[in-house]
Amino acid sequence: MILSVPSAPVSLQENTTITSINAVGFTFSNGASTGGSAIIDYRIWYDQSINNWIVLDTNVTTLNYTTKVVLTIGATYQFRVEARNTVGFSSQSSILTILAAQVPDKPAAPITISLNSNVVITW
């Protein structure tokens, strides 16, 4: 049997239950082929949308990831993943782009005040 590097991971998808102003979470799946050898782990790359890719984490053994770096609120981050078997690392996955943000809080209930012939609404 001829062994080769695995296929690149696929289906990178944001985990919206994790992503907030403090963390970014995503999941992914194995590519079509393991290269004939079991996947050992994954390497996570990231970029702050400035085309400067940096290894964020290595030795990741699950198909989900939560960032371990300090994020800039409102910044857009891009992620790619590589799979590794006994032969080596796969090519990089497609890019997943995620905004480090969260849905704003619901505004307080409105208060209305009648002032002369005007109605003032605040919340």
Q: What CATH number is attached to the domain comprising 70?
A: 2.60.40.10
Let me know if residue 3 belongs to a domain: no
- What pTM value is reported for the model? 0.80
Q: In the predicted model, what is the mean pLDDT of residues 89-99?
A: 95
Confidence band for 102, pLDDT divided at 50, 70 and 90: low
Alpha carbon distance 38, 2 (integer Å): 14
Let me know if residue 4 belongs to a domain: no
**Total number of domains in the chain:** 1
Q: How many CB atoms lie within 10 A of CB 33?
A: 14
Instruction: Give 12-36 pLDDT, tens digit per residue.
Output: 999 999 888 788 899 999 999 999 9
Alpha carbon distance 65, 60 (integer Å): 8
Domain holding 118, by residue range, is: 10-122
Let me know if residue 104 belongs to a domain: yes
Let me know if residue 83 belongs to a domain: yes
- pLDDT for the residue numbered 40: 98
Let me know if residue 85 belongs to a domain: yes
